[in-house]
């Protein structure tokens, strides 16, 4: 893949990641409105983890992004677009 295409693909995947983070944040807001403070706190922590992963990838720090992804629960890690996940973990 050319550098130009790789950059375009990464930007697209980061936008998809932004959407996933926004959706996860909304789930937390719904939990809070429903009176489930513990679930809302868990979603908020997950949003922080996903945002940190996204920022590490955006800065090109795939090593940190990999450590962050490995520390996430599976359901949270599943919010990472698959192509972006394989960019960070090409061997998996």
Count other Cβ atoms within 10 Å, centred on residue 84: 22
- pLDDT for the residue 5: 80
- Cα–Cα distances in angstroms (integers) from residue 22 to residues 9, 46, 55, 72, 90, in the given order: 20, 11, 14, 17, 26
Per-residue pLDDT band for 1 (boundaries 50, 70, 90) equals: low
Q: Residue 6: is its pLDDT beyond 90?
A: no
- pLDDT for the residue 11: 92
Q: What is the pLDDT of residues 29-85, one digit of tens each?
A: 999 999 999 999 999 999 999 999 999 999 999 999 999 999 999 999 999 999 999
């Amino acid at each position: 893949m050319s550098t130009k295409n790789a950059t375009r693909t990464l930007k697209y995947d980061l936008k998809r990641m932004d959407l996933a983070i926004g959706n996860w944040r909304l789930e937390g807001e719904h939990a809070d409105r429903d009176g489930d403070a513990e679930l809302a706190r868990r979603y908020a922590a997950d949003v922080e983890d996903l945002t940190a992963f996204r920022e590490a990838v955006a800065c090109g720090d795939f090593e940190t992004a990999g450590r962050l992804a490995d520390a996430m629960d599976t359901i949270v890690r599943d919010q990472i677009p698959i192509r972006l996940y394989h960019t960070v973990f090409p061997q998996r």
